[in-house]
Amino acid sequence: MVTMIDATSIARRESLVLICALLTESKHLAPHIHILGICGTFMGGLALLARELGYRVSGSDANVYPPMSTQLRDAGIELMEGYLPEHLGGDIDQVVVGNALSRGNEAVEYLLDRGMPYTSGPAWLAEHVLQDRWVLAVSGTHGKTTTSSMLAWLLEHAGMTPGFLIGGIPADFGISARLGEGAFFVVEADEYDSAFFDKRSKFVHYRPRTLVINNLEFDHADIFDDLAAIQRQFHQLVRTVPGNGLIIHRSSEIAVEEVLTQGCWTPVQQLSVGGSAEAHWQAEAGRNDGSKFKLRASSPAEEVDISWSQIGQHNLENGLAAAAAAHHVGITLGDIARGLEHFGGVKRRLEVIGSVSGVTVYDDFAHHPTAIASTMEGLRARVGESRIVALIEPRSNTMRQGAHRAALAPATSAADHVIWFEPQGMDWSLQDVVKSSMVSASICHSVEEMIVAAMDSAKEGTHIVIMSNGSFGGIHQKLLAALAGD
């Protein structure tokens, strides 16, 4: 099966690239796609894949700024600021519409009025990249980017040269997407909707053979009414996994098990960190911070000891999921262990961005109470009694609507001090979060105010964690400059 898929997928991609090259050599332009919302992590990765296939690629976005803008321009992709109708003039063959755009947007109304060919990003990916590939999809509320990065690296370390599209930048690759050369393609499978004209979750398009469901919690309050609505989308995903595929999930995830009880036609393997002895895959931490652990597989019964650079139980769970998925495509436990030991991490996942005068500054993407808590607990296990200060921007749509307000204070209990950013336009006030906080906490209303507060709270040996799923007004480098006395 692997050999047949490999040969077919390679031949198909080579044919596409050859056709584009022949068109260019014969003085005809290669097919031209224009991407609306090109600087998002998913759509930016899609643009890189299209360019690698030989397409002419251009794009528009309301937020054209580094690092994605730099990555795209370096790939020869033309970027345009804003969503202007004139961006869609000329010889565009198809418009790929990002899910950030809706009816009423000038560019959307223009393409509809003129009957231009258009599609969603997930549909384009499925049609042009995932056909004839063995798709390994990583889904769930938390851990998708890290687990996808680990899995892509395990396949790379084993010599399989996988393709991938990940919502972050794995340190081991330095890019968020590539076609790859073999049969396998790793995709971060997001449950957010596909486009204004397709409200199904993106992952419904991917048709994976290997599926990881890390966990399920309520999120994306702007498009889902409750957890049950999210579970319905996940069951649509489960329906697409073939009977000779594999579904992997954590043994303690009741919300995932509820999805599977709605109907499952695929073998299932469970994961457990220091829990169920009946799980197919188990991890037993050798250190409190999770930097050493024993990895066990039940079929066949094997175990290996692993020392790696990651910390926290959430990363043990991510590593277990990546190991199970890698094993499904034929990677041995020994190769999995060596791959995990050499895994370099992911940008913006507790990434150290600098250390000045004994103060270490981290950048972390966490934007949900569970992710905040697991990251803080992992860091606490590593640094012991050292002082931890968290700077948190509740930036996601769900956070700004206040859907998780009751869980925010408990999520930060591993810190010594928390500084919350409350920008103009939030639908609720963070005052109640500060009042109920189990640790010292305060609120700031500007980046400059936060930097002053962080400086006042920092001393030698302090670890400052900046948490946001956006650029946070450039606070990271501004803080490092302030610590350096600049």
CB pairs under 8 A, 24+ apart, for 283-288?
A: 283/316, 283/317, 283/319, 283/320, 285/313, 285/316, 288/381
* CATH code (residue 380): 3.90.190.20
In a domain, 63, yes or no: yes
The confidence score (pLDDT) of residue 218 equals 81
Please answer whether residues 203 and 191 qualify as being in contact, where contact means their C-beta atoms are separated by less than 8 angstroms: yes
**Token digits for 118?**
């258009």
Same domain membership, residue 449 and residue 370:
yes
Same domain membership, residue 260 and residue 183:
yes
Of 325, 298, 295, whose CA–CA distance to 308 is shortest?
295
Please answer whether residues 272 and 279 qualify as being in contact, where contact means their C-beta atoms are separated by less than 8 angstroms: yes
Of 345, 328, 172, 309, whose CA–CA distance to 247 is shortest?
328
Same domain membership, residue 392 and residue 459:
yes
Question: Which residues, 6+ apart, have CB-to-CB distance to 379 below 8 Å?
Answer: 311, 312, 350, 362, 388, 414, 463, 465
Task: Among 120, 145, 168, give the residue marking a domain's end.
Answer: 120
Q: What is the CA radius of gyration of the chain?
A: 23
In a domain, 2, yes or no: no
Same domain membership, residue 203 and residue 265:
yes
Same domain membership, residue 149 and residue 48:
no
In a domain, 44, yes or no: yes
Please answer whether residues 438 and 417 qualify as being in contact, where contact means their C-beta atoms are separated by less than 8 angstroms: no
Same domain membership, residue 470 and residue 440:
yes
* CATH code (residue 80): 3.40.50.720
In a domain, 16, yes or no: no
For residue 388, count other CB atoms closer than 10 A to its CB: 22
* CATH code (residue 142): 3.40.1190.10
User: What is the residue range of 453's domain?
Assistant: 351-483
Task: Among 89, 120, 151, give the residue marking a domain's end.
Answer: 120
For residue 461, count other CB atoms closer than 10 A to its CB: 12
In a domain, 204, yes or no: yes
The confidence score (pLDDT) of residue 171 equals 87
Please answer whether residues 61 and 37 qualify as being in contact, where contact means their C-beta atoms are separated by less than 8 angstroms: yes
Task: Among 300, 315, 341, give the residue marking a domain's end.
Answer: 341
Same domain membership, residue 300 and residue 361:
no
In a domain, 125, yes or no: no
The confidence score (pLDDT) of residue 304 equals 93
The confidence score (pLDDT) of residue 22 equals 47
- Structure pTM? 0.82
In a domain, 20, yes or no: no
Per-residue pLDDT of the chain (486 residues; tens, 9 = 90+): 444 455 555 555 555 555 445 444 444 568 999 999 999 889 999 999 999 999 999 999 998 777 778 889 888 899 999 999 999 988 999 999 999 999 999 999 999 999 999 999 999 999 999 999 999 999 998 889 999 999 999 999 999 999 999 988 898 998 899 999 989 999 999 999 999 999 999 999 999 999 999 988 887 777 888 899 999 999 999 999 999 999 999 998 899 999 999 999 999 999 998 867 788 999 988 887 888 999 999 878 899 999 998 888 888 999 999 999 999 999 999 999 999 999 988 878 888 889 998 999 999 887 778 888 888 888 898 888 999 999 999 877 666 666 677 888 888 999 999 999 988 877 788 888 888 898 999 999 999 999 999 999 888 999 999 988 778 888 998 999 999 886
Q: Find out whether the peptide bond into 369 is cis, omega within 30 degrees of 0.
A: no
In a domain, 318, yes or no: yes
Of 56, 49, 55, whose CA–CA distance to 179 is shortest?
49
CA torsion angle 379 417 457 386 (round to 10): -30
Cα–Cα distance for residue pair 312/287, rounded to 1 Å: 10
